[in-house]
Structure 1
Amino acid sequence: MKLLIVAVGQRMPAWAQTAYDDYAKRFPPELKVELKAVKTEPRGSKSLDTLYAAERSRIEAALPRGIRIVVLDERGSALTTVALAGRLKQWQLSGDDVALVIGGPDGLDPEFRRCAHESIRLSDLTLPHAMARVLLIEQLYRAWSVNASHPYHRE
């Protein structure tokens, strides 16, 4: 199974890239994680609909056909780590690859969010984009560790 993280925004602070890379290399070979960063649409005087459309087009171009789409959204389902581990196990058992999509500064196109298979949120707090990437990969690793009875996660 492959987890594909599609994130709008290409510039990550060095600390965030280092943290992301550290967690990404921890995953076992049977659970590959890949990051595809897509360009943020320059804001300027463009309408929100124009921004959404441009970023949605880039996101969709990064998504392989037939992949399960899970959007990260402030209105999504709140999950505990154990619940995320359960989701990860379900995704693995289904045999589908999963794309977790992080929107840009203005979020994701509303229609794209509606068409996604699932919507989850990382926190009730507003997070900087770089922090969201790091938190997501850490929680995915933690979810894997729960399922594998690895000592990383303790309750």
Structure 2
Amino acid sequence: MKKAIIAIGSLKNRPEKALFDAFYKRLTPPPLIHEIVPKGHATSSQEADLMMTFVQPDDHVISLDEKGATLTTRGFKDYLNQREGSTRRCVFLIGGADGLDEKIKQRANFSLAFGAMTWPHLLVRVLLIEQLYRCQQIDSGHPYHRD
């Protein structure tokens, strides 16, 4: 299944970039990345409009939101594996500092949280890419993930 990450903000020259890149380069195939850097201070509605330009009508959209469902890593892997073989692309949407606009939440097929705490949006990208890598390693039988 093809995957894409559409995110507000840029990791360019940020400390999070090295961590993100370490896991990104290990994924086979790696997800397509769309970094959106709005001009000036954009509202969450304006950010949503920019994000939606990269979302196709048949995409399976997963929003990353603190109010989303919390899954174990194996639960996340199972959720993704249920979509394997689908022609639909799995698209992860990560908002900016103000979170995701309601129109993104309404478009999402699923909303995922990395726990009850609020995470910086740039760090959420690192958490997501690591979990995608971890799911890949579980599926391949690699001992990276230990239960």
TM-score relative to the length of structure 1: 0.86
Deviation (angstroms), 1:41: 5.7
Query: In the alignment, is residue 88 of structure 1 matched against residue 83 of structure 2?
Result: no
Report if aligned partners of 1:6, 1:59 keep a CA contact under 8 Å in 2. yes
In structure 1, the residue corresponding to 2:63 is in which secondary structure?
Answer: strand
Aligned to 2:143: 151
Deviation (angstroms), 1:27: 1.2
Pairs aligned (count): 147
Deviation (angstroms), 1:64: 3.2
Query: In the alignment, is residue 8 of structure 1 matched against residue 28 of structure 2?
Result: no
Matching residue within 101, 106, 111 for 1:109: 101
Q: How does 1:48-59 map to 2 (within 5 A)?
A: 51-59=43-51
CA–CA distance in 2 between the matches of 1:148 and 1:57?
A: 37
Aligned to 1:47: none
In structure 2, the residue corresponding to 1:94 is in which secondary structure?
Answer: coil
Measured against aligned partners, the alpha-carbon deviations of 1:9-36 in whole angstroms (never above 9, x if no partner) come to 124453211111111111124xx31211
CA–CA distance in 1 between the matches of 2:135 and 2:112?
A: 14
Query: In the alignment, is residue 76 of structure 1 matched against residue 74 of structure 2?
Result: no
In structure 2, the residue corresponding to 1:125 is in which secondary structure?
Answer: coil
Which segments of 5 or more consecutive residues in structure 2 lack a partner in the other structure?
none
In structure 2, the residue corresponding to 1:6 is in which secondary structure?
Answer: strand
Deviation (angstroms), 1:3: 1.2
Aligned to 1:35: 33
Measured against aligned partners, the alpha-carbon deviations of 1:101-149 in whole angstroms (never above 9, x if no partner) come to 0011111111220221110111211112221110110011111211221
TM-score relative to the length of structure 2: 0.90
How well do the aligned residues superpose, as a CA RMSD in angstroms?
Answer: 1.7
The residue type paired with residue 82 of structure 1 is R
Q: Percent identity?
A: 32
In structure 2, the residue corresponding to 1:152 is in which secondary structure?
Answer: coil
The residue type paired with residue 89 of structure 1 is N
Which segments of 5 or more consecutive residues in structure 1 lack a partner in the other structure?
44-49
In structure 2, the residue corresponding to 1:141 is in which secondary structure?
Answer: helix
Deviation (angstroms), 1:87: 1.0
Query: In the alignment, is residue 26 of structure 1 matched against residue 26 of structure 2?
Result: yes
Report if aligned partners of 2:62, 2:111 keep a CA contact under 8 Å in 1. yes
